[in-house]
Amino acid sequence: RVTSATVMKTFCGRANPATGALDWVEESEEYDYHQEIARSCYADMLHDHDRNEKYFQGIRAAVSRVKARGEKVIVLDIGTGTGLLSMMAVTAGADYCYAVEVFKPMADAAFRIVKKNGFSDKIKIINKHSTEVTVGLDGDMQTRANVLVTELFDTELIGEGALPSYEHAHLNLVQVGGCEAVPHRATVYAQLVESEQLWSWAQLQPMEVDGCKLLPPPAVSHCAGAHSVCDIQLSQVSPHRFTPLGPLCTMFSVDFSKPVSSAPQSHSSSFPAQSSGRAQVVLSWWDIDMDPSGSIVCSMAPSWTYPDPQSAPWRDHWMQSVYFLPVERRVAEGEELSLTVSHDDYSLWYSLQLSNQSCVEAPPCRPCCVCQAHLVWTRTRFGELNDRQRTQSYVRALRSVVKPDSVCVGVSDGSLLPVFAHMLGAKKVFSLESSGMLKQVIEQVLNANSMSGGVQILGIRPDQLSSTDLAGEQISVLIGEPYFSTSLLPWHSLYFWYCRTALVRLLTPNATILPCSATLCMVAVEFQDLWRIRAPCGTCEGFDVGPMDEMVQQSLDFRESHESEPQPLWEYPCRALTQPRAVMTFDFLQCVPEQPIRCQGSLPFTRRGRCHGVALWMEYQLNDDIKVSMGLTRPVSEEGACEWSLHRKQGVYFFRSPWESSGDGRASVSYSFTFEPSIGDIKMDFTVASQ
């Protein structure tokens, strides 16, 4: 950050679709926290009635237990957010609450919410990290608390620092020897499975290219991969997509009413394999008991574990976790196995041993990528590269244009298309890679398949490429997926068009550009649940949280409400209320124009429903016959069901308030798009009106 006597600015990294680079953009002082508020899950949490109801029940029970002992009820609420749990505690009969919130805009909102609901005399908002809170006559807290209420959890349970926070609280902020805690306990569960779909996100698989096998490098296949958790809406992964190899195991529990340790630990669960298969993936989630008896339970289990999947609560702030074993292992039905979970103070990881080995082996080390592929390819990128149907589409398109005298240049990040072009017999193949690590990963692929030197990988930008780099040749085939690691929204991959324009001086007069064009598509949708992340709450469990709604809306109005945001829509079911439409086409056979490209029109609502916004995606025309979609993967069903690509995020433009569609075609969503060549981005606007 930089400051002067009159102004304070912050510099933010932002992808530049016109250059493919990460630019440092000067923003106003407020930008950081407006972004954090706008992208937060505060509304999602408050819309989670199951969570709120269970917390309220647990708080009432804890307050009653303390009162039954004849003690005053002093509550410590760590990570109070809106102050909701503190207000629940006072309503339940607590004598006083200390509500700790480190994020100042949220602490300010909590102060206003507490005041608006008439609890200012019994709730003190402390704008600090809990580890900085002091106790004593002159401290933030007059006395230690005997009830500890927290919501410090993430999808992985401990990823937001829950263990160190609890450890510190027990040592310094709550009564010595233990307290009443809400939640009382958390339990982590795991299941060992085989899943081709999920495993494709972790390891590069062999590929078929014109009858030849392209093998993954051994260093990649034997790499433990990235240590970070893969958090997804596991409810959207059909049970048909995996085979359980063992039972659902209870891995470990943490009792929050007693002193908690953040020291690294390991826990194992032994079982006979339920079936033969390849042990690849661990599915994991947790639940919390709000009371010591375990009668008030809030579970993160996916919907397919419920007798009635429709009854499962939806939440986006807590999802489920997928962990990939360091290497897959074949197991036989009946074989005794031991699944081990290890954790430090912020993350979990899993390993698998034979039961008779687990007692003598040292605790498994935290996974660490040593092949570099897991550092430069995201999990969805692994899935995209492993998609056989997608690979065959590109191979068929390349086969139609690659000739024995072709000089091919590939422009995409970490792409295998140049390798395919070499395998298809191109005279020369060059690949432009944006990073040294990506260059090394592709070189590993070439070396593993005895193709070293078959593709010349150049670590330069397209505008730096010269005839000398091409050994005097001209480009006859320019290829791209297109995929760029800096792209956030679907149309940011139009950077390929800028690359093509920069290379125009090196193209033969009749050069093939693959893909030859791109199309921006849209459809107005009704979300099953995703709308909750943007919907105002108003009243939550009887408490007015309007000041939070105002704070979020102010931050959205700062910029976000005028922009789309990236979302993996395969995880978030929606119904199409209009027909999908191609609204803007970009001709890669021509250079990027100097003037903006504009289009406008309207789409009538053809289905009844509640329209929450618009979904947007790109489709690429590889040649006259082959098209690949980064959005809808098949036509919308008669009822409006949408099937989305697993590999790319789509753009979502949320309306400020939903629109009720009668489906009779009298109402429509009007759209206006402007592609700005100077910045490589698309500005858009939507309105909904009836005739």
Give tens-digit pLDDT for 579-612: 999 999 999 999 999 999 999 999 999 999 999 9
Question: CATH 3.40.50.150 in the chain, residues?
Answer: 43-183, 379-514
Q: What would the mean pLDDT of 388-413 be, rounded to a whole number?
A: 97
pLDDT at 564 over 80: yes
The tokens of 400 are what? 């139609």
- For the chain, the average pLDDT equals 92
Q: Packing angle between helix 104-116 and helix 31-38, nearest 10 degrees?
A: 60
- What pLDDT, in 10s, does the model give residues 12-49? 556 677 777 666 555 555 545 555 555 555 678 899 99
Alpha-carbon distance 265 to 258, whole Å? 17
- If pLDDT is split at 50, 70 and 90, which confidence band does 3 have? very low
Look up the CATH number of domain 379-514: 3.40.50.150
CB contact at 8 A, 168 and 130:
yes
Q: What would the mean pLDDT of 499-522 be, rounded to a whole number?
A: 97
Name the pairing type of β-strands 581-587 and 517-527. Answer: antiparallel
Question: CATH 2.70.160.11 in the chain, residues?
Answer: 186-375, 517-541+555-690
Fill in the amino acid letter for 620.
Answer: Y
Residue with tokens 């289009």, as numbered in its chain: 599
Q: Is 156 a catalytic residue?
A: no
pTM for the complete prediction?
0.93
Taking alpha carbons only, the member of 259, 296, 298 closest to residue 61 is 296
pLDDT at 85 over 90: yes
The pLDDT of residue 355 is: 73
Helix, strand, or coil (residue 82)? coil
HEC string for 107-136: HHHHHHHHHHCCCCCCEEEECCCHHHCCEC
pLDDT at 542 over 80: yes
Eight-class DSSP state of 506 = G
The pLDDT of residue 226 is: 84
- What pLDDT, in 10s, does the model give residues 152-183? 999 999 999 999 999 999 999 999 988 999 99
Q: When comparing pLDDT for 249 and 691, which is higher? A: 249
Helix, strand, or coil (residue 49)? helix
Q: What would the mean pLDDT of 376-400 be, rounded to a whole number?
A: 97
- If pLDDT is split at 50, 70 and 90, which confidence band does 317 have? very high
Q: What would the mean pLDDT of 321-336 be, rounded to a whole number?
A: 95
The helix or strand, by DSSP H or E, that contains position 556, with its residue range, turns out to be helix 546-558
Which residue out of 151, 156, 384, 619 is catalytically annotated?
151
Name the pairing type of β-strands 517-527 and 147-150. Answer: unpaired
- If pLDDT is split at 50, 70 and 90, which confidence band does 4 have? very low
Q: Is 151 a catalytic residue?
A: yes
pLDDT at 207 over 90: yes
The pLDDT of residue 2 is: 38
Alpha-carbon distance 672 to 659, whole Å? 18
Strand partners, 98: 76, 124
Q: When comparing pLDDT for 358 and 350, which is higher? A: 350
Which residue out of 30, 160, 473, 541 is catalytically annotated?
160
Alpha-carbon distance 419 to 358, whole Å? 42
Taking alpha carbons only, the member of 652, 639, 649 closest to residue 522 is 652
Share of the chain above pLDDT 90, in %: 85
Taking alpha carbons only, the member of 86, 239, 105, 260 closest to residue 173 is 260
Look up the CATH number of domain 43-183: 3.40.50.150
Eight-class DSSP state of 7 = -
Q: When comparing pLDDT for 188 and 11, which is higher? A: 188
The pLDDT of residue 26 is: 56
Phi, psi of 122, rounded to the nearest 5 degrees: -125, 0
pLDDT at 53 over 60: yes
Cβ partners under 8 Å of residue 506, min gap 6? 465, 466, 467, 470, 474, 475
End-to-end CA distance of the chain: 50
Name the pairing type of β-strands 475-479 and 407-411. Answer: parallel
The pLDDT of residue 563 is: 85
Does 517-541+555-690 carry CATH code 2.70.160.11? yes
Q: What would the mean pLDDT of 475-480 be, rounded to a whole number?
A: 98
Taking alpha carbons only, the member of 218, 602, 207, 234 closest to residue 394 is 207
Fill in the amino acid letter for 324.
Answer: F
Alpha-carbon distance 400 to 424, whole Å? 10
The tokens of 133 are what? 């809170």
Alpha-carbon distance 554 to 112, whole Å? 15
Query: CA-based angle 538:544:546, to the nearest 5?
Result: 50
Q: What would the mean pLDDT of 519-528 be, rounded to a whole number?
A: 98
Query: CA-based angle 538:541:545, to the nearest 5?
Result: 35
Q: Which long-range contacts (CB under 8 A, 24 or more apart) does 460-467 make?
A: 460/432, 461/20, 461/432, 461/434, 461/502, 462/411, 462/432, 462/498, 462/499, 462/502, 462/503, 463/502, 465/409, 465/432, 465/502, 465/503, 465/506, 466/506, 467/506
pLDDT at 556 over 90: no
- 186-375, what's its fold? Hnrnp arginine n-methyltransferase1 (2.70.160)
From the number of C-beta atoms within 10 Å of its C-beta (0-12, 13-18, 19+), residue 217 rates as: buried
